[in-house]
Structure 1
């Protein structure tokens, strides 16, 4: 009996010990399960060595592994896994779902790809999920709705597709939902607004459609709503401003239409309102001034019209106001220029009028960015702006400002200044010298403000941070200073359309970061410097309409990022350097109107991105390379007025996108290829004045007589459609000429000045050239041009539209064009005393009209 009692007491003591052992085994199993899950996670990923160096199979203390946070009390389970920005790549391993106590999973800013594993729905304790800034694809798994404790979901900046799961309304604790910058489509689930905890929603930069659910804007908890850059449309919800909780409303770059909803007394909480980039119309409601807490108001890029309401001047805390690119008009309320808190004011691209307040620099003491370009502001630029110490961006371009350019050198924070295209004056260049004090200046735009005289050398002492310098469309003369090469960080230099003379300074090659160089329409001479080849970042080079001579430098091939390359209208000679074929990105290639000789290199087919090739009016010779057809993006080919010979390459039938082909005035021969009629994109074809023979093809572009020119080919024989084409041509000439003739008969022209205008009009009709043609910039004029060739060589300058068909050319020329030119010359004499009376002109015009009409009658019989 005693033995039994002792044995029973022993059992009593063993029971708790057994329970302890059982608990220890359970704890050990759970922690080991977490360790194995982490090792499984690591095994399926690649990363820099140091990321998982502490994750060793030999290490049992996984709570000290990189990125792992465990619970402080036993059992030590994995609570957080934070591996953000670690350079990890691969698919997210499903075995991560074995970390059943995980509350936070942070894997953002890595290179994860593939689908989000549906197994994440097994993490029942998860409260924070951040997989943003990866390359994840597929749909958002609806299984995430099982994670009932989720407070934050951030899947932004991935490649996720499909719709937003409606099951997210099963997450009662969800406060933050960020799905921006993906490829999500479909509509916003109305159920999303039923969550009582949701405070922050960002669905921006997707492809969502439909309208904003009323349930979402009526949410009693929502504070931030960001839906920008989608395809949402229809009208804005009327309840948008009824919310008592919304602080940020960001709906820009969608397709919303209609009016801005009325502002109610319940919406003063809004601090940030962005409705820009939509199709909103009507006026800006004056009630918007009741949003007394606003910090930012962006209504840019809509169709808002009318005047700016006075109530916008009521804001006491507003920092950003953007009304850019609307249809606003009228005078800006003075109170708008008195918002002391305003940092950014953008009213550009409207039709606003009036003057800027003279004290604007004092009433906007916090202003950092002032953008008023493309309006109708007038008067002087206020000197008080020089007191706006924080001003960094000032855009006043394309207005009617007058007076002197202020010396902005007292603005130490100035970074961007644009006063282009105004009616400003610059008595001297002092305003430029004052800018030497602006050490942060990166953009200086002074185009089209009538700057004159020589560009001072100290322009090279402007800020070393300068990236863009625009001096184009002025009257600047003299040489380009060598010191321009000091601005080594320049990316864009525009000095076109001035009167610069002398050589292009070799120091231009110091600007190794230059991407755009525009020097066209000046009076530059000499050779293109070899140092141009140092500009390896260049994508845009225009040196056309100068007096440049010599050869194109071989070093130009180093500029192998060029897309636009224009050396036209100079006096360049020699052959095209083969190094030019290294410029494979080139889209526009213009060497026309020079004295280039030799042939086109066979390797021209390497320019596979070429859209336009213009080498007309040179002395180029040889055959047209068949390899040119490899430039399959070509739309415009201009090779006229050269000495090319041989036939049109058969390979040109591959140029399916060609729109204009001009091979006129060469020595080409053979038959006109039939395939030209099958090039459906071809709109204009000029093969005139060559040696083509055989029959003219029919159909395609040849069916439109006004789109094709083949005159001057003496061995062509007419096709069946030629007689109709001839008739159409004569009718075309009649439409051009007879109204001009009738003008002289019907109008009451009496004064010598009227006679002069009539004469110029006749010469313009005959030649197809405007008296304002850029070719007359050297002192010649339209009268002199015609007088030099009259009458024996009048065909050299006559508009081809008047002599479309060779068969009729002689008759039209003799009986219409020459007499018209004679009258035009007489009427446009420089001295009024030498001009005929209108009665005499009338009689001669009547004779020409009868003669011309008889030609038409004969041809239409």
Structure 2
């Protein structure tokens, strides 16, 4: 038996062994952790701190950041092989939201930090200044605010610093000049002020500098001429003034120079082309530069794009482009290259023949005078876009124009061209838009045009003669054809009526066409608009026209048609406008006309119709129809002042039944009187309706009160200056939801707004316009005036909601945005060009664009609308016109409302839809605007201004390239529509065509 001492010794020995074993385990564990995280855990904890400040990780990129993996194996992390320390943190375009942890400053071995294109907010941590090994810092395309940290100067090895597209304010810190190895400083698209500091010139290693779209102000420092290695210089839209320092033109390595959209003055040095021999891009558009363009530009042999549009350059354009063999884009529009009409004023076009890569040539509104030289046909076969519109070009159009086989767009409208359209134009097989309108072309339309598969053809407003060529029937992709206002004769060729592609509009009005409408018209089942008015067409209206069931507008007035309205017209239920006035039509008015629910305007005047005029449907509103000049009509509304209709069978009275007839007649009279009195009493018991809306469903104040649950705030879906909008359900509307717009009659201008909207809705109806159900003009239960408009409810809200409301968690895709823009443009094209009376909307903005179940856009709110040429709704030149940010600049100086003003508003709206930025965004100040913001991005930086939610990464490089091209084309439309000069804005019909082309490309990706 062991002694107690032995037992105690044994126990002590076991305890020591146990403690030693535990210590060994602890040491092994520590060794394992040490082995796992390197010689210290600084990087590990810094990364966990980074993760802890991320509030949203949509792609779960940080899921792998846990204890199961070594941090060198975490997603987005690269480590050095020797020390296992973090050297690269790469988390670009991951949708991360949150703040940037200051502990990132503890990653002392970090050489590259890429956080581009996320949603980091807050300030940039000054602790980043500890990263002395850092060479590349990419924080661009985030939401960082505050100032640029001064102690970034501690990153002494920094070569690339990208801080663009954030919300940084303040000035560029003077400590920046300590970054002696900096080669690229990209700070564009912020809110930086204080000018471009002269001390930056001390960083002589600088190769690329971009400060574009900052409200910097000031002038360009002469010291930047010390950047002898500079290749890229972009300070566009920086509110810069003064002249461009001569030292800038001594930077002989410059490849791209962009100073667009500033307030720069002065002229270009005569030796610019010799001083900048490596120049590939020169972008000086939208300044106040003057003088002539130096001839030495001809020596910039590497020049690819040349943009000096929207300046005040003058004198004869004498650049010799023959040496610029790599040039692909020339934009010279909106300058004053006035010549004297001499033979060599357009000689510069001769020199373009060697520019074999030229794709785009824009020379509209340059005050060019003279005859277009025959050398125009020698330009590049790669040229796809050529516009010479709005100049003073005269003489014949050279036949050589047909050699430009690469053209997709040719704009020669609004010049003084005369003579025949050359037949060689039929060689332009790729052309998609051809505009020769507004000239003095004469002679026949060449048959050769039939060789083209045109999408849009504008030959209107010329002096063209002869027959419409049947060869147009070969244009199998033709969807619009405009031949109006010419001197065309002969019959309508049946071949063009057999084109199923003709779906938008066929306009051959105001010519001298004769004969009947061919029965082949029935092929155009998808045609939306047909205008054959003011010709010499005769015969009966063919019943086959009733098969064009998609027609919304049918204009046949001013012809020699006879007979009755065909019964087949009962199928034209989509018609919104029907004008068959000034013909020789006869018979009774068909009953089906009163049943068409979409019919907004009907003109039967100056024919020989007879019988009773209905009193329901469109006939319930005297301002929605006309029957003037039909002497044999009777009945109808009292306001028509037509004779009463005779009782049927009154001539059959016979003496033997005289007494019986008297009794029956007396009885009927009593019954009719009773019915009349009852109806009159019932009508008197209802609130009065606006006479302008009698054709609609009649509703009372009480019905609308009930439909909206007493105009409950829970049903309030929108408010404006003149009205509140409520959601409701109207019993007489098949329990479908409605939107009730109640006017604030106490608000100044509300009554005028109501009248304007009623006048507008009386004249229009279109798929992309908000559908009005009825209106109510009455009194409430306290005897106060009450006015309201009732619309079809749009369940998907407004475009403004989708862009800016936090309640909408999902966002609009790129395809949805382009579809919506196409819908809006189509509606404007209808209002401006397809209505009987041109209508200016006057207040186009995202909150007035509503979306239905299928995300189809509907333009609404016509409270500021103006009907041109009618004397109605003529807004005072001192009154409010539109909304700040969307109203065109000419309205601010008292100009009348025009369709060009709507185009400007559309352009701003488009840019807002694509960039996600309101025109009143706080970043737009000191000369910076949404228009300029987008303009500066063209053509190569468009992706940087597009709303992140609109961009979808494509699976292939080719697809991504196509998307970028579509984005650039869309932004260009918005910029072209929102230029300050009304005549220079893109025509809305061209906008529709361009957006449809973009849609076609995107849908095939």
TM-score (normalised: structure 1): 0.58
Question: Using the alignment, how far apart are the partners of 2:286 and 2:433 within structure 1?
Answer: 24
Residue 337 of structure 2: SS of its match in structure 1? strand
- For 2:65, the equivalent position in structure 1 comes to 55
Q: Which moved more, 1:601-610 or 1:150-159?
A: 601-610
- For 1:309, the equivalent position in structure 2 comes to 318
Unmatched 5+ residue regions in structure 1?
1-17, 535-540, 557-565, 581-589, 613-624, 666-678, 684-861
Match of 2:755 among 637, 662, 673: 637
1:526-537 correspondence runs (5 A): 531=550
Aligned length: 597
Question: Using the alignment, how far apart are the partners of 1:354 and 1:85 within structure 2?
Answer: 53
Match of 2:459 among 446, 452, 455: 446
Question: Using the alignment, how far apart are the partners of 1:270 and 1:406 within structure 2?
Answer: 41
Residue 193 of structure 1: SS of its match in structure 2? helix
Q: Contact between 1:386 and 1:410, CA under 8 Å: does it hold in 2?
A: yes
- For 1:406, the equivalent position in structure 2 comes to 423
Instruction: Note the C-alpha offset of 1:610.
Output: 11
- For 1:332, the equivalent position in structure 2 comes to 346
Q: Contact between 1:450 and 1:475, CA under 8 Å: does it hold in 2?
A: yes
Go from structure 1 to structure 2 and tell me whether the alpha carbon gap of 1:132 and 1:427 turns closer, same or farther (over 3 Å shift): same
Question: Using the alignment, how far apart are the partners of 1:186 and 1:460 within structure 2?
Answer: 63
Q: Contact between 2:115 and 2:140, CA under 8 Å: does it hold in 1?
A: yes
1:86-125 correspondence runs (5 A): 86-125=94-133
Residue 423 of structure 2: SS of its match in structure 1? coil
Q: Contact between 1:150 and 1:173, CA under 8 Å: does it hold in 2?
A: yes
Question: Using the alignment, how far apart are the partners of 1:120 and 1:368 within structure 2?
Answer: 49
Instruction: Note the C-alpha offset of 1:129.
Output: 1.7
Question: Using the alignment, how far apart are the partners of 2:499 and 2:150 within structure 1?
Answer: 62
Question: Using the alignment, how far apart are the partners of 1:377 and 1:91 within structure 2?
Answer: 60
**Could you say what the CA RMSD is over the residues aligned between the two structures, in angstroms?**
5.3
Q: Contact between 2:431 and 2:452, CA under 8 Å: does it hold in 1?
A: no
Per-residue CA deviations over 1:425-481 (Å, capped at 9, x if unaligned) read: 462462431112xxxx655443333456787788686465x7876555556785996
Instruction: Note the C-alpha offset of 1:222.
Output: 1.7
Question: Using the alignment, how far apart are the partners of 2:355 and 2:864 within structure 1?
Answer: 58
Per-residue CA deviations over 1:126-146 (Å, capped at 9, x if unaligned) read: 211223333444433333332
Question: Using the alignment, how far apart are the partners of 1:280 and 1:592 within structure 2?
Answer: 56
Kindly indicate whether residue 277 of structure 2 is the aligned counterpart of residue 268 of structure 1: yes
Q: Contact between 1:340 and 1:366, CA under 8 Å: does it hold in 2?
A: no
Question: Using the alignment, how far apart are the partners of 2:741 and 2:385 within structure 1?
Answer: 55
Kindly indicate whether residue 391 of structure 2 is the aligned counterpart of residue 375 of structure 1: yes
Residue 378 of structure 1: SS of its match in structure 2? strand
Question: Using the alignment, how far apart are the partners of 2:230 and 2:263 within structure 1?
Answer: 23
Instruction: Note the C-alpha offset of 1:199.
Output: 0.9
- For 2:400, the equivalent position in structure 1 comes to 384
Q: Contact between 2:124 and 2:149, CA under 8 Å: does it hold in 1?
A: yes
Kindly indicate whether residue 517 of structure 2 is the aligned counterpart of residue 421 of structure 1: no
Residue 56 of structure 1: SS of its match in structure 2? coil
Kindly indicate whether residue 608 of structure 2 is the aligned counterpart of residue 598 of structure 1: no
Instruction: Note the C-alpha offset of 1:318.
Output: 3.7
Instruction: Note the C-alpha offset of 1:308.
Output: 0.8
Question: Using the alignment, how far apart are the partners of 1:372 and 1:275 within structure 2?
Answer: 21
- For 1:358, the equivalent position in structure 2 comes to 374
Instruction: Note the C-alpha offset of 1:198.
Output: 0.9
Larger Rg belongs to? 1
Question: Using the alignment, how far apart are the partners of 1:300 and 1:193 within structure 2?
Answer: 30
Question: Using the alignment, how far apart are the partners of 1:350 and 1:428 within structure 2?
Answer: 29
Kindly indicate whether residue 200 of structure 2 is the aligned counterpart of residue 192 of structure 1: yes
Question: Using the alignment, how far apart are the partners of 1:610 and 1:405 within structure 2?
Answer: 55
Question: Using the alignment, how far apart are the partners of 2:475 and 2:257 within structure 1?
Answer: 42
Q: Which has the higher contact order (CA 8 A, sep 6+)?
A: 2
Match of 2:260 among 232, 237, 252: 252
- For 1:39, the equivalent position in structure 2 comes to 48
Residue 57 of structure 2: SS of its match in structure 1? coil
Instruction: Note the C-alpha offset of 1:311.
Output: 4.4
Instruction: Note the C-alpha offset of 1:196.
Output: 0.8
Instruction: Note the C-alpha offset of 1:421.
Output: 1.9
Q: Which moved more, 1:600-609 or 1:266-275?
A: 600-609
- For 1:395, the equivalent position in structure 2 comes to 411
- For 2:175, the equivalent position in structure 1 comes to 167
Q: Contact between 2:443 and 2:466, CA under 8 Å: does it hold in 1?
A: no
Question: Using the alignment, how far apart are the partners of 2:183 and 2:286 within structure 1?
Answer: 28
Go from structure 1 to structure 2 and tell me whether the alpha carbon gap of 1:28 and 1:58 turns closer, same or farther (over 3 Å shift): closer
- For 2:365, the equivalent position in structure 1 comes to 349
Unmatched 5+ residue regions in structure 2?
1-26, 340-344, 554-574, 583-588, 606-612, 628-639, 641-691, 705-716, 724-739, 763-775, 789-860, 872-876, 882-1005
Q: Contact between 2:153 and 2:178, CA under 8 Å: does it hold in 1?
A: yes
- For 1:815, the equivalent position in structure 2 comes to none
Go from structure 1 to structure 2 and tell me whether the alpha carbon gap of 1:134 and 1:258 turns closer, same or farther (over 3 Å shift): same
Instruction: Note the C-alpha offset of 1:250.
Output: 0.9
Match of 2:217 among 209, 219, 235: 209
Instruction: Note the C-alpha offset of 1:27.
Output: 9.3
Question: Using the alignment, how far apart are the partners of 2:721 and 2:278 within structure 1?
Answer: 56
- For 2:451, the equivalent position in structure 1 comes to 434
Instruction: Note the C-alpha offset of 1:171.
Output: 1.3
Kindly indicate whether residue 247 of structure 2 is the aligned counterpart of residue 232 of structure 1: no
Go from structure 1 to structure 2 and tell me whether the alpha carbon gap of 1:210 and 1:184 turns closer, same or farther (over 3 Å shift): same
Question: Using the alignment, how far apart are the partners of 1:205 and 1:64 within structure 2?
Answer: 39
Q: Contact between 2:228 and 2:251, CA under 8 Å: does it hold in 1?
A: yes
Instruction: Note the C-alpha offset of 1:273.
Output: 1.4
Question: Using the alignment, how far apart are the partners of 1:236 and 1:520 within structure 2?
Answer: 58
Q: Which moved more, 1:204-213 or 1:520-529?
A: 520-529
Instruction: Note the C-alpha offset of 1:56.
Output: 3.0
Question: Using the alignment, how far apart are the partners of 1:632 and 1:319 within structure 2?
Answer: 53
- For 1:152, the equivalent position in structure 2 comes to 160
Q: Contact between 2:93 and 2:116, CA under 8 Å: does it hold in 1?
A: yes
Go from structure 1 to structure 2 and tell me whether the alpha carbon gap of 1:593 and 1:204 turns closer, same or farther (over 3 Å shift): farther
Q: Contact between 1:453 and 1:478, CA under 8 Å: does it hold in 2?
A: no
Residue 275 of structure 2: SS of its match in structure 1? coil
Question: Using the alignment, how far apart are the partners of 2:356 and 2:192 within structure 1?
Answer: 39
Q: Contact between 1:635 and 1:658, CA under 8 Å: does it hold in 2?
A: yes
1:576-591 correspondence runs (5 A): none
Q: Contact between 2:364 and 2:387, CA under 8 Å: does it hold in 1?
A: yes
Residue 327 of structure 1: SS of its match in structure 2? coil
Question: Using the alignment, how far apart are the partners of 1:487 and 1:412 within structure 2?
Answer: 19
Per-residue CA deviations over 1:204-237 (Å, capped at 9, x if unaligned) read: 2333322222222452222211122332223332
Residue 40 of structure 1: SS of its match in structure 2? helix
TM-score (normalised: structure 2): 0.50
Go from structure 1 to structure 2 and tell me whether the alpha carbon gap of 1:48 and 1:404 turns closer, same or farther (over 3 Å shift): same
- For 2:610, the equivalent position in structure 1 comes to none
Instruction: Note the C-alpha offset of 1:307.
Output: 1.0
Go from structure 1 to structure 2 and tell me whether the alpha carbon gap of 1:303 and 1:681 turns closer, same or farther (over 3 Å shift): closer
Kindly indicate whether residue 298 of structure 2 is the aligned counterpart of residue 289 of structure 1: yes
Q: Contact between 1:458 and 1:483, CA under 8 Å: does it hold in 2?
A: no
Q: Contact between 1:459 and 1:483, CA under 8 Å: does it hold in 2?
A: no
Residue 351 of structure 2: SS of its match in structure 1? helix
